[in-house]
Chain A
């Protein structure tokens, strides 16, 4: 049976997931960037160059995540 697309009651809490997800992904993006940079620095002995690059990329990824979610919401 196909759903009635005009009936919002048939799709209640799908937004919850993204709301739960967004905050955590912001922090994890920064941590991933920094940890990746630390590992690269440890391997190449270039501290702290890649740590700083990783931190910038991680912050950038966090911003990208916000933008991506906002873009999806605005298309609605």
Chain B
């Protein structure tokens, strides 16, 4: 019977801290990234080798996007966007390795006997995706505050034009802002969790009888290839949306500021970039 638990399973507890198998997955992704960064900084050369060029490909790809759409201030938030992209990508792809989600301990009795894997996809736990979305949200607010100051930011968020519409429009604006966090977290969680369920279902279907057993060597492989693609797309979408929100926060506020003060400044590239992104 196919069984994929929606909540991450508890492995052990260190005092009040409960360690789940998704946390182990996220921790492994962090370790892989740290080791890769250490290796890369020691071996990187100005004239890249073939291996270095291959490793630099995804970074160059994302750097091109961030440079092109991030406005003049792209260097300020590029490290955050790169970190989010690489972390989500590594966590997603690690979850497709053999043994992840399949090696663990059997718990329960009879029909309720289930396998609790030692490692599971980090993003298959809503806590992981919500945490990342909150980091992105805080960064988005921080860049908005930095670009416009506290007063300007609150004015943009809480005061509407015309002023008599403020009691109606402020809650609408707040709901719309909050929906960004939930949308970011739910999309990543939904896609990764659905991928886990899909792979488990395909494996169960193809190993159900001897007649279809040969398919077990082909069908899950096709879906794993698809999951590789989805992992990349979801990491890209999460990073791009975070960048879009930050760019919009900077560009929108600056534009309102220049409208208010009639400063006559030439429109910043960030405004055009944000518009392009939207």
Interface residues of chain A, those whose CB is within 8 Å of chain B, are: 2-3, 5, 10-18, 20-21, 24-25, 28-29, 32-33, 36, 57-58, 60-61, 64-65, 68-69, 72-73, 75-76
Contact = CB atoms under 8 A, between A and B. Distances in A.
A32 to B, nearest CB: 5
Nearest to B169: A64
A66 to B, nearest CB: 10
B46 interface: no
A65 B237 contact: no
A10 B278 contact: no
A17 B241 contact: yes
24 contacts: A3-B64, A5-B269, A10-B64, A13-B236, A14-B68, A14-B69, A14-B240, A14-B243, A15-B278, A16-B237, A20-B187, A21-B180, A21-B183, A21-B187, A21-B241, A25-B180, A25-B183, A36-B175, A57-B172, A58-B175, A64-B172, A72-B277, A75-B271, A75-B275
B121 interface: no
B277 A18 contact: yes
A15 B277 contact: yes
Contacts of A60: 168, 172
B183 to A, nearest CB: 5
B244 A18 contact: yes
B179 interface: yes
Nearest to A23: B183
B188 to A, nearest CB: 11
Chain B interface mostly helix, strand, loop or mixed? helix
Given A25-B179, A69-B278, A75-B275, A10 B68 contact: yes
Contacts of A10: 64, 67-68
B171 interface: yes
Contacts of A36: 175
Interface residues of B, number: 35
Contacts of A68: 176
A12 B180 CA distance: 23
Given A60-B172, A76-B272, 8 more contacts: A3-B64, A5-B68, A13-B65, A17-B277, A29-B176, A61-B172, A61-B176, A72-B274
Interface string B251-278: 0000000000000000001011011111
A73 B278 contact: yes
Interface string B115-144: 000000000000000000000000000000
B78 to A, nearest CB: 12
A28 B179 contact: yes
A17 B214 CA distance: 39
Which of B248, B276, B278 has most chain A Cβ within 10 Å? B278
